[in-house]
């Protein structure tokens, strides 16, 4: 598993399926990859869609994809749409700029 997942790891796999390792025969489709980054913060979110029922509770899940290494993501159900239940994984971290400390204001 990659130590630090980035948006670049997921973007090529939009509209593909990830198997949820903890749940037999349960898959999620990566439907959105959203970049919310700024000059100071690397921020992005992933939206997955699964079956309308049963749906996964909020928590940490190991996802397996044929072209990626497996990864563990904290998934939060954000509600259903016309296809199924949607889940979000959000990432936010300071961008390390050559020894500079983040502004504390």
pTM of the model: 0.86
Residue pLDDT, tens place only, 48-82: 999 998 999 999 999 999 999 899 999 999 999 99
pLDDT for the residue numbered 98: 57
What domains can you pick out in the chain, each with its CATH number?
7-94 (2.40.30)
**What distance in Å separates the CA atoms of residue 34 and residue 45, rounded to the nearest whole number?**
5
The separation between CA 8 and the C-alpha centre of its own chain, rounded to angstroms, equals: 12
CB 29 within 8 A of CB 13: no
Other beta carbons within 10 angstroms of residue 87's beta carbon come to 24
The DSSP secondary-structure symbol of 65 reads: -
Residue 1 confidence class, pLDDT cut points 50, 70, 90: very low
Q: Can you read off the two tokens belonging to residue 56?
A: 């996964």
Evaluate if residue 34 carries a pLDDT over 70. Answer: yes
């Amino acid at each position: 598993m990659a130590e630090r997942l980035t948006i670049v790891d997921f973007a090529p796999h939009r509209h593909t399926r990830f198997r949820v390792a903890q749940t037999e025969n349960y898959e999620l489709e990566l439907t959105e990859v959203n970049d919310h980054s700024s000059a100071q913060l690397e921020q992005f979110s992933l939206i997955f869609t699964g079956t309308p029922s049963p749906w996964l509770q909020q928590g940490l899940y190991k996802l397996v994809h044929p072209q990626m290494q497996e990864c563990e993501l904290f998934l939060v159900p954000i509600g259903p749409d016309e296809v199924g239940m949607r889940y979000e994984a959000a990432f936010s971290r300071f961008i390390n700029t050559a020894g500079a400390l983040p502004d504390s204001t």
